[in-house]
A and B are shown apart, each in its own frame.
Chain A
Amino acid sequence: MRIDQIVLGTAVCLLLATTPGDGRGQTAGIKTGMPSPKRHSPTAKADPAGDATGLIEVKQSDLLQKPTKDNWVSYNGDYTGRRYSALTQITPANVSHLVVKWVFHTQEAGPLEMTPVVVAGVMFITAGNDAYALDAETGKQIWHHARAVTEGLIDDASSHHNRGVAILGTRIYMETDNAHLLCLDARSGNLIWDVPYATGNRNYGATSAPLIVKDKVLVGTSGGDDGVRGFLAAFDVQTGKEMWRFWTIPGPGEFGNDSWPGDAYMHGGGTTWMPGTYDPELNTVYWGTGNPSPDYDGSVRPGDDLYTSCLVALDPDTGKLKWYFQFTPHNMYDYDSVQTPVLVNANFHGRPRKLIVTAQRNGFLYILDRTNGKYLYSRKFISNLNWAKGMDEHGRPISAGLTPDEKGVLVCPSQDGATNWYSPSYNEATHMFYFRSLEACNIYTAKTTPFEEGRTYYSTGLRRPLGEIGKGYIDAFSLDKLDFAWRDRLIGPTFAWAGVMSTATGLVAFGDDAQNFVIVDGRTGAPLWHISLGQAIRASPMSYAVRGKQYFAVATGSGDLFSFALP
């Protein structure tokens, strides 16, 4: 994957206060001698203990809520992966009045790639192996579970990226850089259990956020560029006992093993380093898998290299494969397929369908039927794409035969992908699918190299074409028109690795390539508000509400978390 290359509570009926103003954030005028800017409104905190705020007791029904509203209960908000909020307080008309409400600085202070989870006014975040609970209205720390980052890891895991927590009941769950699943008491931050779940190859790590499905918590690993064997594993939410494990690389005697001579399957990659999505009605989880390993040397893994660069549809009760769809067979360009598989119910060619919409690192946007994995549609979304000549009727790309060698071959899109792990968003109001894209190419080289524990397993490398500078974009694809509605160039010095989210009022929020947090009109792409955060943004934003006030929050590249709201 090499993501770092260039650089509900029980009562989670959170009562909406009748007046959006609140009593917080006002100075204690008497004690400090400072004047209070305004007196608190009579409804604000009139009954500080009387609403559901502050009580962490997340039920299955809270996790099943869609779309997400006051609470944001998982990495992508809800099980569909839409990263869409039904909150409507902030609109195109008033968004220009947004202000920073608070900033929280994590002690880890590395680049944050996580999305906060908010329940009942409490925000849960991670930084490295640390977890924090914050007052979501003030950003003040309630507790901090400190755990040292792991020394001696390699590649992505050695950057200690972490994408956040999952929550159920009174517990939160997180992965550590060395692939332990931690269960913490959400009320105290205390450790309930700690399960190491990836052993036998020290190149395993973990960077994702777990996903809770019913009574199980699902986790994957990193290490797909480092010769690990990918898997998705499910653990009992109460005990931490392993319930099933789906290996993304078939073992001897299994279907698909013919790409993996000898013990190559033990080092085939196909890791599961981003959260998947879940359709409760179809009782199916959808999970993207990473590139095959070694990355650029396809000679040691002939054939399609199943199930790398795939979407796998699994039974969440058993881990059994229902179907798979492979986006990039025999991938030699590091095109992981871990981009969020967004579940959309929409008309397609005039018929209501259960769809998956996903923009892939290989440069194509796909629409699949999520009941059976059938290919319905694809569309190239970048100009610079030369690795495939097109798509056949089943959605299998027609290879252009570009094979990395010792001299090097120019391939577009680049290893960083036409898009990547940063989140897309599907918006119910505009029927548009929003995502970030990158126009760039790389010169790929390959050389057969043996696998060795403790070392990466790219089997050589890549370089940029002389003088080329990648160009970042935000794209809006209309599901009604099956066409792009708009595409905005992001001008700035650094491609930001920042995802998008959208809201019921048609707002689309994201970090741009110039350290700005930006909100645009989702219908047109017209910018409505922006603020420079003074640091690159490498995470996807979310939105939440406490006591009737809507907030946007986004984590940043220097270890901060910003929260914005109307004054």
Chain B
Amino acid sequence: MTHLKGGRWANLWVSAGLFLLAGMSMMAQEQGRGDAQGAGEFAINCANCHGSDGQGAKAPSLTAPNIVALSNAELIRVVHDGVSGGMPSFAQLGDANIVSVVRYLRTLQGQGDMVGPAAATGDVAAGRALYFGKAQCSSCHMIQGKGGFIASDLTAYGRSHAANAIAKAIVTPDNPVAPDARVVEVRTKTGKKLTGVVRNEDNFDMVLQTEDGRFHFLAQSDLIDVHRTDHSLMPQDYGRRLTPAELNNIASFLIVAGQTTPAEPLPPGRRHGGGR
């Protein structure tokens, strides 16, 4: 059982197992404490296993998509309870520090402006229509089981991203490009050129997936040129093609989808998608 000092929190922390929803509100309300507290606690308690940048070391990366996809409440629970057979409990930090750590983790994940359950202020139905229509998001991104395969599944995306962050990610998608989404152009000894996304690579082989879905199994020794671009397949011109209101509608659709789709039970520390 955990208790907060401040009386205004007491109703939120009903029990150790059921305090989770509280986290999101706390993160919103405790913003004043800033990241410094969280950064300090992270360095002392987390960095040794997860790396000082959270990119993973002895323990898995905390910036992997499946961790980013976890809600604030879920992250707070993991820090508080630990992971069976893996990470120990950090309940001893106290609730306020745990929230600070999670808030700092969000900045490491590039989600720094996300401080609470994202609000959907736009027109969700219009956003859905854009997603599957004019904006063509669904030709690459699956959501709730519908859509393409070459880019990431966005079903859970809106669970951990605020509307303004989503709009920003649509308008400036490759800032920086996600490693799994980077477009790679290769040329083989026979002169064949392929452009796609790398699903697996080592010193000997490369699996490149092209936009038609095909996996190309390539030997490094057959490649005479490998150009790793600094961009994904995502169009760069959404800032011109979509109005701010449309962007907000899409963001609202993603937020509502993320918050209303039951999450698959994800094993902690597991990667979801991606080959490397």
Does any Cβ of A come within 8 Å of B8's Cβ?
A: no
CB-based contact A193/B145 at 8 Å? yes
Binding-face segment, B15-23, B96-104, B249-257, B263-271: B263-271
Number of interface residues of A (CB under 8 A): 51
Q: Mark A169-194, 1 if CB is under 8 A from B, else 0.
A: 01000000000000101011111111
List residues of chain A with CB within 8 A of the CB of B273.
Answer: 143-145, 188-190
Chain A interface main SS type: loop
Chain B residues with Cβ below 8 Å from A145 are: 272-273
Bound Cα distance A194, B144 (Å): 10
Q: Is the CB of A36 within 8 A of B266?
A: no
Complex interface bits, A22-51 against B, C-beta within 8 A gives 1, otherwise 0:
011111110110001000100001111110
CB of B125 within 8 A of chain A? no
Does the CB pair B219–A147 fall under 8 Å? no
A141 touches B205 (CB 8 A): no
CB neighbours (8 Å) of A150 from chain B are 265
Q: Pick from B188, B199, B222, B264: contact of A143, CB below 8 A.
A: B199
A26–B220 alpha-carbon span in the complex (Å):
9
Kindly state whether residue B190 has any CB partner on chain A within 8 Å: yes
Q: Which residues of B contact A32 (CB under 8 A)?
A: 203
A188: chain B residues at CB < 8 Å are: 142, 149-150, 153, 273
B213 A147 Cβ-Cβ under 8 A: no
Task: Tell me if B204 and A135 are in contact (CB < 8 A).
Answer: no
Which residues of A174-229 are within 8 A (CB) of B? 183, 185, 187-194
B192 within 8 A of partner (CB): yes
8 Å CB contact of A24 from B145, B205, B212, B272: B205
Which residue of chain B has its CB nearest to the CB of A194?
Answer: B264
Measured between beta carbons, the chain A residues less than 8 angstroms from B212 are 55
Within the complex, what minimum Cβ distance (angstroms) separates A241 from chain B?
13
A107 at interface (Cβ–Cβ under 8 A)? yes
Q: Which residues of A contact B218 (CB under 8 A)?
A: 45, 48
Complex interface residues of chain B between 171 and 201 (CB less than 8 A to chain A): 188, 190, 192, 194, 199-200
CB of B11 to closest CB in A, whole Å: 29
Task: Tell whether B9 is near chain A: CB-to-CB under 8 Å.
Answer: no
A40–B219 CA distance with the chains assembled, in angstroms: 10
Contact status of A140 and B264, CB under 8 A, knowing A55-B214, A56-B213: no
Residue from the list A53, A129, A142, A190 in contact with B153, Cβ < 8 A: A190
Interface flags for A129-167 (1: CB within 8 Å of B; 0: not) read 110000101101111111111100000000000000000
In the bound complex, do residue A191 and residue B204 qualify as a contact, i.e. CB atoms below 8 Å apart?
no
Query: What are the interface flags for B57-69 relative to A under an 8 Å C-beta threshold, 1 for contact and 0 otherwise?
Result: 0000000001000
Question: Cβ of A146: which chain B residues have Cβ within 8 Å of it?
Answer: 66, 266-267, 270-272
**A29-84, CB < 8 A from B:** 29, 31-32, 36, 40, 45-50, 53-56
Chain A residues with Cβ below 8 Å from B192 are 47-50
**Could you say which residues of chain B place their CB within 8 Å of the CB of A329?**
none
Q: Does A290 contact B (CB under 8 A)?
A: no
A191 touches B275 (CB 8 A): no
* Residues of B close to A424: CB separation below 8 A: none
Determine whether A122 belongs to the interface, using a CB cutoff of 8 Å to chain B.
yes
B residues 53-91 near A (Cβ < 8 Å) are 66
Shortest distance from the beta carbon of B267 to any chain A beta carbon, whole Å: 4
Contact status B203-A135, CB under 8 Å: no
A143 touches B274 (CB 8 A): yes
B142 touches which one: A46, A141, A185 (CB < 8 A)? A185
B149 — which chain A residues lie within 8 A by C-beta?
170, 185, 187-188, 190
A45 with B222: CB separation less than 8 A: yes
> Cβ of B215 < 8 Å from any Cβ of A?
yes
- Docked CA distance A137–B192 (Å): 21
Question: Which chain B residues (214-232) contact chain A, with CB distance < 8 Å?
Answer: 214-222
Interface string of A360-402 (1 = CB under 8 A from B): 0000000000000000000000000000000000000000000
- Contact between B219 and A45 (Cβ–Cβ < 8 Å)? yes
Contact of B217 among A40, A121, A185, A189 (CB under 8 A): A121
Given the interface pairs A28-B204, A55-B213, A145-B272, the reply to whether A23 lies near B267 with Cβ below 8 Å is no
Most chain A CB neighbours (cut-off 10 Å) among B202, B221, B266, B275: B221
Residues of A within 8 A of B108 (CB): none
Q: B207 in the interface, Cβ–Cβ < 8 Å? A: yes
Bound Cα distance from A187 to B207, whole angstroms: 12
A162 to B: closest C-beta gap in Å: 15
Name the residue on B nearest A178 (C-beta).
B265
* Distance in Å: Cβ of A531 to nearest Cβ of chain B: 23
A residues in contact with B146, CB < 8 Å: 192
Interface pair A142/B188, CB less than 8 Å apart: no
A140 partner residues in chain B, CB cutoff 8 A: 200, 202, 205, 207, 275
Are A191 and B221 in touch, CB under 8 angstroms? Answer: no
Q: Which residues of B contact A23 (CB under 8 A)?
A: 219, 221-222
Can you name 22 A-B residue pairings with CB atoms under 8 Å?
Answer: A23-B222, A27-B203, A27-B204, A28-B220, A36-B221, A45-B188, A48-B188, A48-B216, A49-B192, A49-B194, A121-B215, A141-B200, A142-B209, A144-B273, A144-B275, A145-B273, A146-B271, A187-B150, A190-B153, A191-B145, A191-B155, A194-B264
Given contacts A24-B204, A47-B190, A143-B275, 4 further A-B contacts (CB under 8 A): A23-B222, A49-B216, A188-B142, A188-B150
| Closest CB pairs A-B (n = 9) | A54-B215, A188-B149, A146-B270, A148-B265, A28-B220, A187-B149, A192-B145, A190-B153, A187-B213
